[in-house]
Amino acid sequence: MTEGTVEPRLKLFPVQVAELETVRIDYEAFVSPAGAQPPKYFNPHQISFCPQVKYRVDDSSGVVIVSAKSVFARPTKGGAAADLSADPAPLEPYRLEVAAGAVFIFDPQKMSREEVVEWCEKGAFFIVSPYLRQLVHDVTARSGFPTVTLPLVQVPVLHGTGPASAPEK
C-alpha cells in the first residue's frame, strides 16, 4: 500500500484488512526461593479477559489502525503472598499481556469519518480477536505453564443493504 492512497480493490467492501501484526507480548513469571515475596509491581490479580481496543483514523490516507490488548495472570495458591516452598510442585504466578494490531484501509469517498469511527467501535474487535486469541494460546502453550485459551466471541449479525450484505438466493 502506497502512502496516501487507497488500493483499487475496495470495490466490494468499504473497509478491508491491509495488514495484521503482533504489537506486543509481555510475559512475566515470578519464580521465587522459599518465602520470597513477588516484587511490588507484580500484580497477579490484574486480569482483563475482555480485551481493550484502541484505534486511530487517518481520513486523508484512508487508513485505520486498530489494536486489541488482553492482560491476565495466575496468582499463587492462597494469593500473591503464598509460600511457594510449602508445596513440592507450587503454582508459580505469572502475568501475560498480549496485544495484536491490524491496519485497515477504507475509501474516504464512500465512508464518512463518523461511519469509520462507528465501525471501529462496533466491528473492528471481531476481526482482531481471533489473532489475539491465537497469540495468547501460543505463548502460554510454549511457556510450560497451563495453556490459556481466550473465549470465543460471538459476532453479532449485521443486517445491511450494501454490497457487503449476503447475496440473495
- On whether the CB atoms of residues 102 and 51 are closer than 8 A, the answer is no
The percentage of the chain sitting over the pLDDT mark of 70, rounded to a whole number, equals 57
Q: Is residue 165 part of a domain?
A: no
Q: Is residue 58 part of a domain?
A: yes
Q: What is the pLDDT of residues 58-87, one digit of tens each?
A: 888 888 888 888 777 665 544 444 443 444
Q: What is the pLDDT of residues 2-54, one digit of tens each?
A: 455 545 555 657 778 888 887 777 777 666 666 666 655 555 555 555 667 88
- Structural domains of the chain, count: 1
Cα 76 from chain centre: 25
Listed residue (142, 145, 159, 54) closest to 100, CA to CA: 54
Q: What is the mean pLDDT of residues 101-121?
A: 87
Q: Is residue 156 part of a domain?
A: no
Amino acid at 161: T
Q: Is residue 68 part of a domain?
A: yes
What CATH number has the domain bearing residue 104?
3.10.420.10
At what angle are helices 124-143 and 113-122 packed, to 10 degrees?
40
- Cα–Cα distance between 132 and 67 in angstroms, integer? 10
Q: Is residue 149 part of a domain?
A: no
Q: What is the pLDDT of residue 46?
A: 52
Q: What is the DSSP letter of 113?
A: H
- DSSP string across 16-76: EEEEEEEEEEEEEE----TTPPPPTT--TT--EEEEEEEEEEETTTTEEEEEEEEEEEEPP
94-106 and 48-58 beta bridge pairing: unpaired
The percentage of the chain sitting over the pLDDT mark of 90, rounded to a whole number, equals 1
Q: What is the residue range of 51's domain?
A: 15-31+42-80+89-143
pTM of the model as a whole? 0.62
